[in-house]
Amino acid sequence: MPSLLMAHGRSRRFRRRLVLIAIAAIALVLGLASIVAINAHTYREYNGWTRHSYQVQEQLLRTGHALRSAESGLRGYLLTSDTDQLDIFFAQLPDIDASSALLVQMTIDSPQQHARALKLRSMLLTRIADMRHVMSSYHRGGADAARQSMRAQLSAQSTHPIAAHIAAMEAVEQKLLSEHEAQRLHSATLATWFTVACLLSGVFLLVSAVILVIREQRIRLRSNDELAAAYAQLAEALEESRGLADRMHRLHLLSESLQNCRSIREALHILPPSLEDMLPDTAGVVALINASRNLAEKVAEWGRLRIHSEAVFTPDDCLALRRGQPYPGTDTRVKIRCTHLKPEQAEDADVTWLCIPLLTQGETLGVLHIQHIGEMHAEEHDLAVTLGEQLGLMLGNLKLQETLRIQSIRDPLTGLFNRRYLEVSLNRELLRSRRHGRSVAVMMLDMDHFKRFNDTHGHDAGDELLQQFAAVLRDNMRAEDIACRYGGEEFVLILPEVEHASALQRAEDIRQAVAAMKVRHQGALLGTVTVSIGVAMQDTQGSEPGTLLHAADQALYRAKNAGRNRIEVAAAAETATMTKDTD
């Protein structure tokens, strides 16, 4: 009897300890799940702040661009009395007002940035009032009064304080991005340490459970099945915890790798191995929608596809793109297949597939297509959907960065580089030529009688002429040459590592190509045009960008005054001051 009582007491103590271990294991799993949920919330919050900062930076860029366009239109009107330039000035004023007001609204969550936005709006309104005063002076006293008013304003203020203020706000937004990134890294570090602690605790619980099982086996052999089941459940929970922590860690590494990329093309190089590592035993493709929004093109692939997917297909061919959500869902009874996949065959009956749209800020970038041998479990399905959501946000951020970078260095009408890029590139090429002992040629090109062409055929035809002329430049330049729109109908072509004779031949080829150009607008032939070209060589004009551009400009003046449709070369010491015919 005592032995039975002792055995019963040991059995009760065993059950009590086993229950405590199970509770501790459940607490560990719940703790890990809570950390994962908190970490996911942190990622979403960080992405929201990132989108907000990029939107503020984009709005700052638009505000500065609108101000420069308004000032350019006002100057053009004061110089030429062209009412179209005045229309440009008035067209930009609502954009400046709306952009500055939107900036004030967007920064209301940050008191310091909000104060800066209010100050920027005040500076912009003051600047607009000054420009209206200049225009009023022009109407009352003519060009001389307007110029006097402009000089008085330039002595008192300029756009530099506004540009500096915009740059300061952009720097603050960048700092906010860095702070949010630091907070995210800190949260990820805490989650990692907590996961490690949970795993160690789990191992301790596992060892304790094993000891209890062995001890109880010596006492009561009939409890083997129950103890084995408890051990298996605990091991499965720990394995799930390890797998979940490992997947979150891999997702974090992929996010860091994509954030370090500077373009979508660079990101596509690291996607296949990363996706294969995150989704083992799978294959798939990433397809992005082109700029025309009418085709989706395969840009990345990993693994061996059991079901062939078309390399190019329309967005309507994919049910996920058509519906705007993952397809198919977890319901395995769905039998309708996307038409970009080949018809169902007997050999792919055991393949499970999933299409996930890549979405960012309401825009569909493409689709992530995944194939899995056998049934895809709910955890794997959820991981794939989460990965698709994160991938869409990351690619959207890269696309926005590329757009902002292109807008800052490209002329929107011709697609050539702008004057800011010219100044940086010319200085770089001159420094490079000095190191290697090679010459650089600079051409300054001006369309002959462009104002007359514009007045005769209209501004739309003038824009068409400038675009066709830019195409001629692209067709007659090397990959290392740099073509820029200098302003209006003036263009500059930088020719690195070129000799004097080759530069002149290149200029002659361009002159002949322009003379042979047939300008058409709205189906009508508008006649022929010519171009005057001034050429300056670094080996004769020195190595300063300003000196070289001035020499090419003086040579262009001579070409204009000598009858147009010709090429003039800058002399070794270009000192003459000539007046260029603006037509």
Per-residue pLDDT tens digits of the chain, which is 583 residues long: 444 445 556 667 767 777 787 787 788 778 777 777 777 777 677 777 778 878 888 888 888 888 888 888 878 877 777 788 878 878 888 888 888 888 888 888 888 888 888 888 888 888 888 888 877 777 776 666 555 655 555 444 444 688 888 888 888 888 877 887 787 788 778 878 877 887 787 777 777 777 767 776 666 655 556 667 767 787 777 776 676 677 667 777 777 777 677 677 777 787 888 887 778 888 889 999 887 888 899 888 888 888 888 888 998 889 888 888 888 876 655 567 888 888 766 566 678 888 999 888 778 889 989 888 877 777 778 888 888 888 888 887 777 777 777 777 788 888 888 888 888 888 888 888 888 878 899 999 999 888 888 888 888 888 888 888 999 999 998 888 899 998 888 999 999 988 888 999 999 999 999 988 888 777 777 778 999 999 998 875 556 888 889 999 999 999 999 989 999 998 765 533 434 444 5
Q: What is the pLDDT of residue 149?
A: 58
Q: What is the pLDDT of residue 9?
A: 61
> In 55-80, which positions are buried (b, 16+ CB within 10 angstroms) versus exposed (e)?
ebbebbbbbbbbbebbbebbbbbbee
Q: What is the pLDDT of residue 4?
A: 44
Q: What is the pLDDT of residue 244?
A: 65
Domain boundaries for CATH 3.30.70.270 within the chain: 419-569
Q: Which fold has domain 275-400?
A: Beta-Lactamase (3.30.450)
- Residue 298: name the closest of 403, 43, 289 by CA: 289
Domain boundaries for CATH 3.30.450.40 within the chain: 275-400
SS3 26: helix
- How large is the angle between the packed helices 378-409 and 419-436, nearest 10 degrees? 80
Residue 567's alpha-carbon distances to 289, 352, 481, 537, 570, in angstroms, are: 46, 68, 19, 14, 10
CB atoms within 10 A of CB 87: 13
236 Cα distance to chain centroid: 43
User: Left, alpha or beta for 520 (phi > 0: left; psi -120 to 50: alpha)?
Assistant: beta
Q: What is the pLDDT of residue 253?
A: 72
Q: What is the pLDDT of residue 174?
A: 81
- Residue 128: name the closest of 173, 74, 166, 83 by CA: 74
CATH class of this structure's domain 419-569: alpha beta
Q: What is the pLDDT of residue 270?
A: 78
Place of tokens 């009032």: 129
Quote the tokens at residue 509.
């080829």
